[in-house]
Amino acid sequence: MSGGADRPGLVSAAGLGLVGVGGAEPADPARRGPDELRALAEEAGRELEGAPALEIARWAAETFGDRFCVTSSMADAVLAHLVSRVAPGVDVVFLDTGLHFPETLKVRDEVARTLPVNVRSIRPRLTVGQQDGQYGPRLFNKSPDDCCQLRKVEPLERALAGYDAWAAGLRRDESPTRANTPVVTFDARRGKVKVNPIAAWRQADVDAYVARWNVPVNELFKQGYGSIGCWPCTRRTRAGEDPRAGRWAMFEKTECGLHV
């Protein structure tokens, strides 16, 4: 399928004629403004659609250098592993909400220990206890949007401040809200390029990559969880349910706000 890992015959980033590809010296990333970043994203989004995930990651790494990072929820280490193959030492941003399952933190620690990446654990400005004192206990039960804003969205804004581009592990098959995810787009809200190298992958592609490279995977998937977030807002999914049906199940909410 398009976007599958390491398939020969598809266009490579080196042949796109894009800034920073094919040995060309990229422009000074520090001088790129929103208009230039938008133009880069729009061109790459067209040219890289259908390219292998590794080539999409390589384009981002070569174009943005150390102003490019990976974000990971540590449901698995597929994206971090993939990008590390073309950008050893890449920063991997993990939002440590203070409400993660122990199994999630175990994946984070294993990634930091075994992969050639630099894991950055970013915490909210308030501890869970401080948030309870300021907004009342169990904000996630009363206003999950506000809780996500405090513990995920705002920390991500701070974490991305020094980058021009970031990679996320979004896939089109995960939910209807992600069905049209582009492989490269301009995140106008943050003024940055957003790269989704595995957008076209299906679960079978992920499973094949995990098996080939022995990539760390969250143990909760074996316990019936289809998608893993903070423990108060995540339940096991039932047979036939959308993988993200177990997220904020008591609310009309399917996204935390990071990707909308």
H-helix or E-strand containing 54?
A: helix 53-64
CA 258, CA 260: separation in Å to the nearest integer?
Answer: 6
**Greater pLDDT, 196 or 243:** 196
256 is catalytic: yes
Query: Annotated binding site for [4Fe-4S] cluster: which residue ranges?
Result: 147-148, 230, 233
pLDDT at 25 exceeding the cut of 50: no
pLDDT at residue 227 greater than cutoff 70: yes
Return phi, psi of residue 217, to 5°: -135, 140
Every domain of the chain and the residues it spans: 32-219
Question: Predicted confidence band at 100 (pLDDT cuts at 50, 70, 90)?
Answer: very high
For the residues 103-109, what does the mean pLDDT come to? 96
Q: Which CATH class is domain 32-219?
A: alpha beta
Partners of 186 in the beta sheet? 193
Residue in 144, 209, 256, 260 annotated catalytic: 256
CA dihedral sign of residues 133, 153, 101, 92: negative
Which pair of structure tokens corresponds to residue 144? 């999950």
> What is the total residue count of the chain?
260
pLDDT in tens, 154-168: 999 999 999 999 999
Residue 25, C-beta contacts closer than 8 angstroms, at least 6 positions apart: none
- For 185, the enclosing helix (H) or strand (E) is strand 184-187
